[in-house]
Amino acid sequence: MKFWKQSLLALVAIGQMNLANAQPVELDQIKVIVNSGVILESDIDTSIKSLKANANKSGQALPSQDVLRQQVTEKLIIDTLQQQEAERIGVRIDDNRLNQAIEEIARNNNQSIEQLTASLAAEGLNYAEFREQIRKEISASEARNALVRRRINILPAEVDNLASILAQESNATVQYKIGHIQLRLNDGDDAETIKAQAQEIVDKLNAGSDFSTMAYTYSKGPKALQGGDWGWMRKEEMPTIFADQITMQNKGSVIGPFRSGVGFHILKIEDVKGLETVAVTEINARHILIRPTVILSDEGVQRELNDIIARINAGEATFGEMAKQHSEDPGSAAQNGELGYQTSDIYVPEFKHQVDTLPIGQISEPFKTVHGWHIVEVLDRRQVDRTDSALKNKAYRILFNRKFNEEVSAWLQELRASAYIEIIKDDEDDS
């Protein structure tokens, strides 16, 4: 393993050999080895610079440089592992998707692309590197969503039971703005020591310490670098361990520490508000899915799907006939490709975009998701309110979101535990 590490370190030096006779420059250093990948000093510096720029804009106090560096390094390790998983399962984010994401970032900041580029430059950030970082974040998110979904099993009885409970509730529900700090409990750690540390944090919070700063400093949870902010959630949308702790507490309440399988947790109710239920749009769509193989390339799949579209448009076959013959989604293929009335948020982002934007009766161009290549046609849209179907869809989403948030934390911890990770110390003896 030492030889492998030295080989990785040598790669950086080899890349600089042509500069041996030029003016001396500081070489980018490898700071962390993550499986077959590395995290460079420049990666850490860029992330810290970006985080400080955002903190300055929002007036957020940050912890010391050493603590901030440790937290950023930990996030980069987790990000790298997720990006490696994205590469492993073949997630690819094309430029069109990337451009849409960056345009949305600019809109959210009330900026044009030119203004966003200028503001990045003012903060010392390179626009090209920013684009690639966003591409990596989207691909990591896609991989995480695809792989965690496979771990989730929701029984029909669970949906029916929760739908019955929702039917008895008032139209007005309560929404909470939640802050979260998680202290990780690794194998071999003393649980009482970690619990005592968590209690010290609670005491400091109750004495007036800033929750976001404490989360930046101590939390190992998924929102640590957002100051522990989970945003607004109904109890039904929260991880079960959150929802079980929230009863009649008021705004400003600090809850915990309490324990789960991954460690100890602290919550703060930053704010509370009522929420009126609203009608939702259900979409009835049908699709044909074909997956690339060793023999059939992406281009081959696209040609096959375009041939199917041409046959349907020419009246040689119906969409349903083509779905039964060609679709590799057995559940919908047996139903002429139909997915039934669903809210679009149950679909992966590329599929959701298509069913949200396609005119009724129009077949999409072939497009790719983590599942393969699709064509889709929207058959109908309808607005529903407290119908049985809407309640069951809502119950499913609640159960899915709850289990998804729980499984993400467990998946990330398992991913990290099974990885080879080595942090390179500045004064390490490589001899």
* Residue in 378, 372, 379, 380 with CA at minimum distance from that of residue 327: 372
Best-predicted range by mean pLDDT among 146-155, 228-237, 250-259, 281-290? 281-290
Find the mean pLDDT for residues 140-153: 89
Domains detected in the chain: 29-150 (1.10.4030.10), 170-278+397-416 (3.10.50.40), 280-384 (3.10.50.40)
Rounded Cα–Cα distance for residues 1 and 7 (Å): 10
Find the mean pLDDT for residues 180-200: 90
DSSP for 104-141? HHHHHTT--HHHHHHHHHHTT--HHHHHHHHHHHHHHH
Cβ–Cβ under 8 Å, residues 370 and 146 = yes
Q: Is the dihedral of CA 230, 234, 240, 245 positive or negative?
A: positive
Regarding predicted confidence, which is higher, 20 or 100?
Answer: 100
The mean of the pLDDT values for the chain is: 84
Find the mean pLDDT for residues 402-426: 89
Q: Is the dihedral of CA 411, 72, 221, 142 positive or negative?
A: negative
DSSP for 318-373? -HHHHHHHH-S-HHHHTTTTEEEEE-GGGS-HHHHHHHHHSPTTPBPPPEEETTEE
pLDDT at 27: 65
* Residue in 285, 290, 271 with CA at minimum distance from that of residue 373: 290
pLDDT at 125: 77
Tell me the pLDDT tens digit for each residue of 51-96.
887 788 788 888 888 899 999 999 999 989 998 999 898 888 888 8
Rounded Cα–Cα distance for residues 254 and 268 (Å): 4
30-34 and 421-423 strand pairing? antiparallel
What percentage of the chain reaches a pLDDT higher than 90? 41
Is 57 exposed, middle or buried (CB count within 10 Å of its CB: 0-12, 13-18, 19+)?
A: exposed
Cβ–Cβ under 8 Å, residues 375 and 329 = no
